[in-house]
Amino acid sequence: MYNNKIVSWKIPDRNNLKLVLDTIEDLNTKRNVHGTILHSDQGFKYTSKKYSKRLNKYGIRGSHSRKGNCLDNACVESFFSHLKNRNVVSN
């Protein structure tokens, strides 16, 4: 997210580490990401060594929500709520 706009996204069949790493690659091709902060929850994908290495490769600083605290990532939680509600209505 940048200035309240989503700058890189993918809709996969599976939510896995490859998805996260591919999205970071995509983001890096769209913007100069050096020095930015990438906020996430503490899921296994975001605490893996490969994820940390990818962030370091592009000079991105990782930030994590506190365990079990959805308020730390309220903008993303709100987005997914809207996405899920829209998907339910359109199906």
The domain limits of the chain are 17-90
Of the candidate CATH numbers 3.30.420.10, 1.10.10.350, 3.40.50.720, 3.40.190.10, the domain formed by 17-90 belongs to 3.30.420.10
- List the chain pLDDT tens, one digit each, 91 residues: 557 777 888 888 888 999 999 999 999 999 899 998 888 878 889 899 999 999 999 999 988 777 766 666 666 667 767 667 765 544 4
Helix/strand/coil percentages in the chain, nearest 5: 55, 10, 35
pTM of the model: 0.72
pLDDT for 91: 47
Contact (CB, 8 A) for 63 and 37: yes
